[in-house]
Structure 1
Amino acid sequence: MIDPNKLLTPREYGRLLYQIFFKGRTLRKTYAEQTKDWTKKQTVIYLVRVHCYTFFLILATLSAVPNSKMS
C-alpha cells in the first residue's frame, strides 16, 4: 500500500495510474461478465462511481504534488 505521507516517485505514480485506468477497465469487464443478471441501471451507477473515484483521486494527487499547475 502507498504511504500517503510521503511523495510518490515517478515510477510509483505511473504504476498507480496504470492500475486505475487499465486494471480498472478489465476488472469492470470481468465483473460484468460474471454477473449476467446486472441491469443496465446498476452498470451505469457502478461506472459513474468508478469514474468519480478516479477523478477525485487524480485531483487529490495533483493538489498534493508540489509545483503543479492546480495549486
Structure 2
Amino acid sequence: MLGPLARSSNKIGRNVMTNFIRNHSHGGVPGENLPFDISNRYKLTAMFMVYVGSGLSAPFLICRHQLLKK
C-alpha cells in the first residue's frame, strides 16, 4: 500500500531538486550562492565584525541588563 506512494513521493522530490538546481545555479562563480556580497572586502569585514560582535556581546549585555534591574 505504501510502496507506490513512497516511490511517487521520492520521484517528486527528485524532480523538485533537479529543477531547483537547473534554475538557480550558474556554476563556477565563487560566492554566487552566498546571501551577501563579497566583492567589497572592507564592507564584508565591517559586516562580519558587526555580525560576530553582536553574537559575542549579547550575553554580556543581557547580564548587565539583569544586574541593573531593581
TM-score bin, normalised by smaller chain: 0.3 to 0.5
Larger radius of gyration: 2
TM-score w.r.t. structure 2 length? 0.34
TM-score w.r.t. structure 1 length? 0.34
Structure showing greater relative contact order (alpha-carbon pairs closer than 8 Å, 6 or more residues apart): 1
